[in-house]
Amino acid sequence: QVQLVESGGGLVQAGGSLRLSCSVSGLAFSSYVMGWFRQAPGKEREFVAAITWSGGSIYYTNSVKGRFTISRDDAKNTVYLQMNSLKAEDTAVYYCNAVIPGTLKSHFGSWGQGTQVTVSS
């Protein structure tokens, strides 16, 4: 009964910012590596960022380094993605999931509904 609920997406101009949130329930949140993934129209879902236990280690895909920041609040069972300097190519549906330690792959087979991020030029 894992539940993943993403929020915070919207329409923003290039160069703008958004903060995404992922509320997690049904698991021992602090015991999992958590991450963000995204899927653009016509493309495969791709890894964006991950954060390990208590925020000890953080990983980003190259295209978002220096612009996005992942964080987690274990007391609130929530993962965040602060997105700055947004580009049109960031347009996608963004999803959260647990991440298998040592990989960039999702842990759970079920996904939430995601949140749409649209960046206009």
Per-residue pLDDT tens digits for 5-35 = 999 999 999 999 999 999 999 989 999 999 9
Mean of all residue pLDDT scores within the chain: 96
The SS3 assignment for 51 reads strand
pLDDT tier at 51, thresholds 50, 70, 90: very high
CA–CA gap between residue 33 and residue 90 (Å, rounded): 23
Closest among 58, 89, 72 to 21, alpha carbons compared: 72
Closest among 16, 4, 92 to 48, alpha carbons compared: 92
pLDDT tier at 1, thresholds 50, 70, 90: confident
Q: What are the contacts of 99-107 at 24+ separation with CB within 8 A?
A: 99/32, 99/33, 99/34, 99/35, 99/50, 100/33, 101/33, 101/52, 104/35, 104/47, 104/50, 104/59, 105/47, 106/35, 106/37, 107/32, 107/33
Question: What is the torsional sign of CA 17, 18, 19, 24?
Answer: negative
CA–CA gap between residue 54 and residue 75 (Å, rounded): 10
